Amino acid sequence: MTRGEHLRNLVLLGACAVALTILPHALTVYRRSFVLFTMMYVVLALSWNIISGFTGYTSFGHVAFYGIGAYACAILVADYRWHWIPTLGVGAVLAALIAVVIGYPVLRLKGPYFAIAMLGAAEGTRVVATVWDSLTHGGLGISLPSAETSLETYYAMVTLMLVTIVVAYGVGHSRFGIRLNAIREDEVAAEALGINATLYKLAAFTLSAVFPAVAGGIQAYKVLYIDPPAVFFVQITIAMALMSMLGGKGTVIGPIVGAVILYTAQELTWVNFPTAHLIAYGLFIVLVARFMPRGLVGLAIDRGWVRKGMIH
């Protein structure tokens, strides 16, 4: 990208920020929630994309970090009477530490083995949250005391989304991001060309864990009740993956577009057909993988509407 293009994108993002700041005052409480959760999925898809899209390590367990963030917030607010904002930081740090601990061994696996190992890691985290009664209240879940105005969480999510977009954009268009791409394309060659793959993968993995944790924390304070099945729900991971795939893995705009489209579609259908979005998800996975493996952005690139590559 040229400097002019970066500037244009920055202006676009600024315009989005202004619009999202004014917007809630014009919305009903329900619609405000809808926008909040759409933004949350943008955060989740963009984060998943850092390890799975840029780096090529498809994670089926990213919900673990989301759940950890949600629990960090819920426990500290409900049991330790913290203000909810600093708990987001605790969740982020905790998720980063756990990402390093899980990532170091698991990132040695490749392809389906990594995906399955992450699925196991997320399930393991859910079990720990269910069994560790004294800390997490186990299967009963945690109710949060709240003085929520719904604006607080809304603005927190706007901020988180903007930060996530800026970071994902920065990573994607930097030589750090290009080197992650190189690992995705051919890890052996990348190593032979001087890239310390272990270190880069761990950095990408940790980065991709931090934002979902914060999102989980905001979500916990938004809905005021969490339990293990809700915040370690495997479908949240699938949503991250599917949104990124639909929009275009390994790009920055792809996961954003995918999240907005899929979450909106889900919201429109579930009111009338409570399970329809699940069927639609299944169908979508098949269709996207078969006909559009590189997503909408890939399609736009093939048509010549968008340039190839991240650095120009």
Partner 1 sequence: MDGCSFVVPRGKISGLIGPNGSGKTTTFNLLTGLLEPDGGQVIYNGENLAGLKPYQIFRKGVTRTFQVTRIFREMTVLENMLSVTGLGVPERVARQRAEELIAFVNLGHLRSEYGGRLSYGQQKLLEFVRALMTDPDLILLDEPAAGVNRTLLQHLLDHMHRLQEQGKTIVIVEHDMNVIMNHCERIFVMDYGVKIAEGPPAEIQRDERVVEAYFGRRR
Q: Which stretches of the chain bind partner 1, using CB under 8 A?
A: 175-176, 178-179, 181-182, 184-186, 188-197, 250, 307-312
- The token pair at 249 is 């893995």
Q: How far is the CB of 1 from partner 1 (least distance, A)?
A: 12
* Nearest of 212, 294, 290, 304 to residue 254 by alpha carbon: 294
Please, which residue, 99 or 197, has the CB nearer to partner 1?
197
Please, which residue, 94 or 182, has the CB nearer to partner 1?
182
CB 80 within 8 Å of CB 135: no
Please, which residue, 126 or 179, has the CB nearer to partner 1?
179
Give the whole-angstrom CA distance, residue 224 versus residue 230: 12
Q: How far is the CB of 175 from partner 1 (least distance, A)?
A: 6
Chain centre distance of CA 59: 11
CB 255 within 8 Å of CB 247: yes
Q: How far is the CB of 176 from partner 1 (least distance, A)?
A: 6
Contacts of 160 (CB under 8 A, 6+ apart): 39, 43, 211, 214, 215, 218
Q: How far is the CB of 190 from partner 1 (least distance, A)?
A: 7
- Please enumerate, as own/partner, the contacts of 298-305 that have beta carbons within 8 Å and a separation of 24 or more: 298/248
Please, which residue, 79 or 185, has the CB nearer to partner 1?
185
Q: How far is the CB of 188 from partner 1 (least distance, A)?
A: 7
Please, which residue, 61 or 250, has the CB nearer to partner 1?
250
